[in-house]
Structures are given as structure tokens and as C-alpha cells.
A = this chain, B = another copy of it.
Amino acid sequence: MEFKSKTNEWIEEVDSALDQLLIAEDVPPQVIHHAMRYSMFAGGKRLRPILCLATAEMFNGDKTKVMPVACALEMIHTYSLIHDDLPDLDNDDFRRGKPTNHKVYGNAMAILAGDALLTHAFEILSKEALADADAANNKQRLQANYEIANAVSSRGMIGGQVVDIISEDNPVKEPSVLRYIHTHKTGDLIKTSVRSGALLSGASKEELENITIYAEKIGMAFQITDDILDIEGDQQELGKDIGSDEKNQKLTFPSIYGLEKSKRMARNAITDAITFLEKTGRESAYLKELAMYILTRKK
């Protein structure tokens, strides 16, 4: 119960910070700022900012310093969803139960709103680095900024999306391809969310190593449960059509390993995540519960 109230508290704080950090809807050209906010406030779980904030809290970081970075991560996540949903890519009409960005604003504006969210994220990261230029830990901040850009690059998040698209046209049930897609398409942003929270809070090299493995393992489990929910999930609760992976011949964990083995793999990943989390020696009740939540989530 404490996990849930803490989560809700963070969601509220993130939403309020996002509202401050995003450009107001009355700033010209208004339509793009509407479009950006539409997808930013379409009911996201705020998993990435919460991971960043929770990791920072574990390492006694300064929340006010970490919050803009946490919000930038959510903007990057949202830009990637807007572009993924486009007719030229996954062609999805609904996301979290609401019409996707291009269904509301048209394809051109959705492309530009995605571009603008990605750009705005980097604007925030650069602005914070400049404001904190004289801070003792500015090097860690610059390291975090660099890692975030790298994580969402053509060898990171975009790379995962590219291979996902290619393998749709040419489905081969190759575990290494599946691993590539998931490590990069969802895993890299989750990992960098955790690492940037740690970097901004002065984690030691060893702490950083352990928390990185935690992040990799929950990222993997998150993706496996995503694949499982597309088979066993509740359409209403998920806010999107189920069965779309099979329809689109997507390479998924269940399609390669079957449902039961996939579930076991997710459980094992979470067990490993918790082991490495505890190796940091830090107070980490929230991140432990978050790992377990990933395993049992319904949406």
C-alpha cells in the first residue's frame, strides 16, 4: 500500500514538473504545443521518471536537481511513442485508450511534435548542465546527459525500433534478434533512467555497476510482461488492442519461448534484479517493490 501511495505521489510531482517544463499552450505556434502536451498527458505510467527519482532517492540525491532530467526522459519516451504509432511505422490508432497523436493532429504535426519533444528534452538537459556548471558534481551530470543521448541513439532505442521494423517484414524466430530489439528498444531508456538518477546523486562506481544490472534485468522483465500482456491482458485495462503482436507477426518472447517459459524468464529476471539491487547495500524498498510490480502488472 505504501508502494502505491508513493507511486501516486511521484506521478503527481512528475506531472506538475512536466506542466512547468513543457511550453505553455498559448505560446505560438499553439498547435504544436497542444500536440506535445496531448501525448505527454495521455495517461502514462511515468515509469522512467519514477525510476530516475527512486534511484536518486536511494542514493540521497537532491530531488530538485534530478526532476528536470526525469521529465526529459519522459519526453523522450513520449516522442518515441508518437513516432512509433505513425501510419508509416506501427500504424496504431489508440494508445492508453486515447486516439494517437496523428489521429488528432494529423501525420505532419505528429512527426513535428515528436521532433519537438526530443529537442525539448535535450534543451532541458543542456539548460540544467549550464545552470549547474559550477556545481561540484557537474561532470556526473554531463556524463548522464551524454549517456541519455547515447541510449536513445541509432545504437540504442532507435536501433531497436529499426530492427523491430525490419524483422516484421522478414520474421525469423532468432533469439539474438529478439534480444537485440528488446535490449535496445525499451531496455536502453530504462537503464539510462536508473543510471542518470544514480549519477546525479553521486553513486560510487561499484554502486553504479550493481544498479545498472538491476536496471537491465527489470527492463528485460518489463518487455517480457509487455509481450505476455499482448496475449493475456485485458483490452480495457491496457487501453489498446491485444493480439496485435501476433497479427503483425512480431518477434516476441512467447513466440519464441512459449508462454510458460516466458513467464519463468520474467520471474528469474526480477529475482536477479533484486539480488543486484541489494548488493548496493542501500535502503531500496521502493525499487524492490517496483521490480515485483513489473512482474504482476496488468497494464
> How far, in whole Å, are A119 and B165 apart by their CA atoms in the complex?
19
Find residues 91-135 in chain A having any chain B CB closer than 8 Å to their own CB: 106-109, 111-112, 114-116, 118-120, 122-123, 125-127, 129-130, 133
> How far, in whole Å, are A287 and B293 apart by their CA atoms in the complex?
60
> How far, in whole Å, are A154 and B154 apart by their CA atoms in the complex?
23
A179 interface residue, CB < 8 Å from B? no
A153 interface residue, CB < 8 Å from B? yes
A271 interface residue, CB < 8 Å from B? no
B115 touches A127 (CB 8 A): no
Chain A interface residue count, Cβ-Cβ cutoff 8 angstroms: 54
Which residues of B sit under 8 angstroms from A161, Cβ to Cβ? 112
B111 touches A153 (CB 8 A): no
A83 interface residue, CB < 8 Å from B? yes
Binary per-residue interface labels of chain A (24-35) against chain B in the complex, 1 for a CB within 8 Å, 0 otherwise: 000111011100
> How far, in whole Å, are A129 and B127 apart by their CA atoms in the complex?
13
B139 touches A133 (CB 8 A): yes
Say whether, besides A112-B161, A142-B126, A142-B129, A120 and B154 are in contact (CB < 8 Å): yes
Of the candidate stretches A63-71, A144-152, A223-231, A276-284, the one touching chain B is A144-152
A89 interface residue, CB < 8 Å from B? yes
From B31, B158, B165, contact of A116 by CB (8 A): B158
Q: In the complex, how many angstroms separate the beta carbon of A126 from the nearest chain B beta carbon? A: 4
Closest 4 CB pairs of A and B: A123-B149, A88-B107, A116-B154, A126-B146
Which residues of B sit under 8 angstroms from A36, Cβ to Cβ? 154
Which residues of B sit under 8 angstroms from A119, Cβ to Cβ? 118, 149, 152-154, 158
> Looking across the interface, which residue of chain B has its beta carbon closest to that of A86?
B111
Q: In the complex, how many angstroms separate the beta carbon of A6 from the nearest chain B beta carbon? A: 31
Which residues of B sit under 8 angstroms from A45, Cβ to Cβ? none
